[in-house]
Structure 1
Amino acid sequence: MPRRKRLYALLLSLCLLALPAVAEPLRVAVAANFRATAERAGAAFERETGTSVLLSSAATGMLYNQLRHGAPFDLFLAADAERPRRLAEEGVGLAASRRCYARGRLVLLGGPLAALATPGQRVAIANPTVAPYGVAAEAVLARPPFAEIERRLLRGASVQQAWQFHATGAANLALVARSLVGDGEASASIPADWHAPIEQQGIVVAGGREESAGAFLAWLTGPSARPILDRDGYDPCP
């Protein structure tokens, strides 16, 4: 190799070595109801720590199945306590890392609570087989004032899709997460004792970026994240 080319190759190698290493983003599987909140929290976490957060969202049950089959996530932010508990028992998640990061609330879009007792309504809920907010919605509809009412039930693949059914006019009413309600969007709060508590837990995935994932989960449950969660209508964990 001519001397000039060898010198050029050496200089190029030195320049490449001098470039700062770009860290892999933290890969987070997040329940659909918490997606927008996680985006704001992740951006704040990156500003504080320099660690970027890459989100993938779907219904909790869908993400759980993906994780059980080896999906490459570092952290799971579920909308319930059951799926993180199962992942800990199955060795997919680190049991010691499991903790509550928020408590969700259910609201009704499209009318007052009495509207659920009106026959013929098209009511959107999340599919209860995969979405904890769908389980809570079913509990509300099974209450004595509403249980015998004839209605058309639209089940979304996630609570986000249930909200979309209402937003597009496909449903008159929708039982969704309070975090999905936009500014100026009328909603009626569902009393907390009308369904089991929606305790949202997170768990670090074994074999991933365990230290960074644990740091983000700890940050999410600390004072820095509290204003973000408060803004989106999440109650503190007990």
Structure 2
Amino acid sequence: MAIKRITTLFCLLLLLAQTQAESLHIAVTASFRPVLDELAIEFEKETGIALTVSSASTGTLYQQSLHGAPFDVFLSADKQRPRALQEKLKLSEESVFIYAKGELVFVSTDPVLKKLEDILQSKQRVIIANAKVAPFGVAAEQVLVSINYQGEKVLANNVMQAQQYLNLRLAPTGIVSASVALNLPSTPIPQSLYELVEQAGVVLNDTPVSQTFVKYLTSPKVLELYQKYGYSMADSTH
């Protein structure tokens, strides 16, 4: 009887280990969350690997990762923080990879303010993500400097919150990532006004399951999904 109980316990532990091995905890920057939500469905169908997703600004997720949050992979909206984590956590050079390039759009719910340059003559505020924690906020600031905007800004913690502010009409215009502006009236912003947002990820827990996810994320099969949300794929994975 004792042997039978031990065998049953062993089988349960083995099943638990297999279940845990077939799941991943992904930390994703807010701007890429809409893409990952769609991608996760097809990824699980194809691989059987379930994704648990935590989303916030890049700066917030960086701090959480640095202080031991149980993420397997961190998808940032910049290149600097994944590389910083790789160095501080003493991860391998190969743990860092480029997965996407993001673009900005000008959003306006005011029919009078149709073009980006129209905000220069307006007394209305402009919504952008906070450059201190969000790379798309840095890019938005570059745009405003490029056109010499001197007006007031409404700062959101990340681009998803910027989208919420736009929906709440806290200001009629905003400069946000194309990925969060699908259901808002928007126009592309010339890339000459800002540095294209090159987005990198870092594998924090290097397992075969994590590598399967990275290969899927950077494979041509997800190109159409990326384009739907205003992203292009990276030219290389390192």
Q: TM-score, normalised by structure 1?
A: 0.87
**Structure 1 residue 215: deviation in Å?**
1.6
Counterpart AA for 1:133: F
**Structure 1 residue 163: deviation in Å?**
1.3
CA distance in 2, matches of 1:42, 1:94: 26
Worse-matched range after superposition: 152-161 or 109-118: 109-118
Counterpart AA for 1:227: E
Residue 192 in structure 1 maps to residue 188 in structure 2: no
Does the CA contact (< 8 Å) of 2:223 and 2:232 recur in 1?
A: no
SS at match of 1:57: strand
CA distance in 2, matches of 1:106, 1:162: 13
- 1:100 alignment counterpart: 98
Segments of structure 2 that go 5 or more residues without pairing to the other structure are: 109-113
Counterpart AA for 1:157: N
Does the CA contact (< 8 Å) of 2:203 and 2:210 recur in 1?
A: yes
CA distance in 2, matches of 1:169, 1:59: 21
Residue 158 in structure 1 maps to residue 154 in structure 2: no
- 2:132 alignment counterpart: 129
**Structure 1 residue 116: deviation in Å?**
2.5
CA distance in 2, matches of 1:129, 1:95: 26
Counterpart AA for 1:23: T
2:220 is matched with which residue: 206, 223, 228?
223
Segments of structure 1 that go 5 or more residues without pairing to the other structure are: 1-5
SS at match of 2:65: helix
* Residue-by-residue CA offset, 1:78-106 (whole Å, 9 max, x unaligned): 00101011111112544212111110000
Change in 2 beyond 3 A, CA 1:114/1:221: same
- 2:111 alignment counterpart: none
Superposition pairs of residues 1-238 of structure 1, within 5 angstroms:
17=11, 21=16, 23-24=19-20, 25-91=23-89, 93-110=91-108, 111-143=114-146, 145-147=147-149, 149=150, 151-183=151-183, 185-205=184-204, 208=205, 210-238=207-235
* Residue-by-residue CA offset, 1:57-76 (whole Å, 9 max, x unaligned): 00001100111111110000
CA distance in 1, matches of 2:92, 2:170: 41
Does the CA contact (< 8 Å) of 2:66 and 2:89 recur in 1?
A: no
Counterpart AA for 1:198: V
Number of residue pairs aligned between Structure 1 and Structure 2: 226
C-alpha root-mean-square deviation of aligned residues, in Å? 2.3
SS at match of 1:48: helix
The ranges of structure 1 where at least 4 consecutive aligned residues each deviate by more than 6 angstroms after the TM superposition are none
* Residue-by-residue CA offset, 1:162-221 (whole Å, 9 max, x unaligned): 1111111001111111011224x310111112111200111100xx35321222111100
Counterpart AA for 1:84: P
Q: Structure 1 vs Structure 2: percent identity of aligned residues?
A: 35
Change in 2 beyond 3 A, CA 1:68/1:16: closer
Worse-matched range after superposition: 51-60 or 85-94: 85-94
Worse-matched range after superposition: 56-65 or 220-229: 220-229
Does the CA contact (< 8 Å) of 1:123 and 1:172 recur in 2?
A: yes
Change in 2 beyond 3 A, CA 1:92/1:27: farther
Pair member with larger Rg: 1
Does the CA contact (< 8 Å) of 1:61 and 1:130 recur in 2?
A: yes
Change in 2 beyond 3 A, CA 1:44/1:93: farther
